[in-house]
Amino acid sequence: MLRIAFVLMALLTHPQLNVDGAAATAPPRTSGVHDIETRLDNGARARFTLALPDTLDDAGTHPLIVVLHYGGHPTRYYGRPLVEQLFRPALAGLAAIYLAPESTGGQWTDVANEAFVMRLLDAITAYYPVDRDRIVIAGYSMGAIGSWYLLEHYPECFSAAVPVAGLPAGTVTTAAPVYTLAAPNDEIFAFERFEALVAERRSAGQVIEFASVPAQGHYDIQGFRTALAAVAPWLEGIWNTTPSR
């Protein structure tokens, strides 16, 4: 266990750690949105955005929202706009920590990205005061596909998932709670597929909420912000009725 913890923490204390464009000896603890670059075991650069609340409660009461970005060729800190412009404003009342990894190319469902997200998740929960019973996996479009995937494969790690404008790539068997949102005029995913999935999962006994959002289409990210605000009280309800793991 000590060796595992050391390996995980090495991701956040690497000698070449960079925070907000400057060399650093430790991850940030000040409030705000931070861009962080570190190194993987193979020497490759790995980047992520981290948003911290106004104050950190060392008692470990903060939810952690993991935000997976959409598709396209990732630019540096590709997930930051989703944190700043969508999830953090919509879920402001949760006093959460937000983590947005930058993928290494490809899908969130590939081996390298899956490993990076889960290793980074372990490192963040070891370093920051995160309530491990209130970790949420979320994402937009390709990130929504990834959130379905990780919830399916690591249901013990996440209290809920919030996939926005994206459907699962494979079969869903998990019973973990999900709040999903879609626009009726989505150009990528047929709205009827969302409706069918929700009906199927409800009949299987899964707790799943579904919001039809009047966005201007798949690429109207800001069009989801108002509707996403309903997720905060839903999450609090899930957390208040689910026994600690």
What is the Cα–Cα distance from 23 to 226, expressed in whole angstroms? 37
Contact yes or no for 90/229 (Cβ under 8 A): yes
pLDDT in tens, 69-91: 999 989 999 999 999 999 999 99
pTM for this predicted structure: 0.94
b/e per residue 151-186 (b: at least 16 CB within 10 A): bbebeebbbbbbbbbbbbeeebebebbbbbbbbeeb
Predicted pLDDT at 44: 85
**What is the structure's pLDDT at 244?**
66
Contact, 234 vs 211, CB < 8 A? no
Q: Which residues of the chain have pLDDT under 50?
A: 1-8
CA pair distance 88, 162, nearest whole angstrom:
13
Token code pair at residue 209:
């909420």
pLDDT of res. 209: 97
